[in-house]
Structure 1
């Protein structure tokens, strides 16, 4: 794929990516370099603070939601290339509203026990905030955008949105945490399990070494 064709493809993907949730799709900070030139060293960031998506559930069946239906089908089943050891039942659970008074940040000891249920993820601390972190190496920049689109569909369905990063043109990094409690909750592990269930066939690099 030539550079020009790749850039055109990337722009098309982004247009579809933002149109998918119209009219409630958020505006992105204009200081963020969403499209680089070639293999840019500038990362693409899409955090909860910068992108706030509607937590409404999708209404399937209408013509406007055909693309969302396609994405829903894409996340069913686990690709052998992305399978990770964990609790398959966790991915069947549903995230609860983050503004619930019953939600509290779990202690690190509890998070370490829950971590066994979401293979491939690790605990990371930023400041005093405990987060779930995982990274993947994708084939190219466009495949990275496709990966993020799949994650965005799951996050929007659950009403729980992770921090998404496309760094160095082919490294996808995801941090999951609950902003309202500044830490980890069951929601974060449920979302991580659902991300583990994504079918990423054709997106990951053959040398898909995890990048931290």
Structure 2
């Protein structure tokens, strides 16, 4: 099993790209600690939430995520609710489902050093 952080997202505009099965998604989910599969309006997505120290720390976190997303060419939905509640949803918008790209992005987000931004230490 390859480490997802060592992989690169592939372009999502290929006509051959298809959403992965729920079984395949559940297998990859084991490699992205803290993320969950959610089904909203028939679209399966990856989701993770964090609590930040402040609103500005949430914005700083989003900038780090944006840098990763731009480098990968794969862009998640970013939500900052209230003053410190951050949520990220990722799925491959062009096909309306999950691909390996979403798990690669989640793994790379997990590898960011963000402890200084978090309200409390993440559970191990």
Report deviation, 1:101: 2.2
Does the aligned pair in 2 maintain the 1:97–1:159 contact within 8 Å? Answer: yes
1:200 corresponds to which residue?
Answer: 114
1:150 corresponds to which residue?
Answer: 64
1:128 corresponds to which residue?
Answer: 42
Question: Residues of 1 paired with 2:114 and 2:2: CA distance?
Answer: 17
Which structure has the highest strand share of the two? Answer: 2
Question: Residues of 1 paired with 2:60 and 2:36: CA distance?
Answer: 23
Question: Residues of 2 paired with 1:145 and 1:171: CA distance?
Answer: 11
Q: List runs of 5+ in structure 1 lacking aligned partners.
A: 1-86
1:171 corresponds to which residue?
Answer: 85
Aligned residues: 123
Does the aligned pair in 1 maintain the 2:91–2:97 contact within 8 Å? Answer: yes
Could you say which structure has the larger radius of gyration?
1
1:105 corresponds to which residue?
Answer: 19
Which of 46, 52, 61 does residue 138 from structure 1 map onto?
52
Report deviation, 1:109: 1.4
Report deviation, 1:103: 1.3
Does the aligned pair in 2 maintain the 1:139–1:205 contact within 8 Å? Answer: yes
SS at match of 2:68: helix
SS at match of 1:165: strand
Which of structures 1 and 2 has the larger relative contact order (alpha carbons within 8 angstroms, sep 6+)? 2
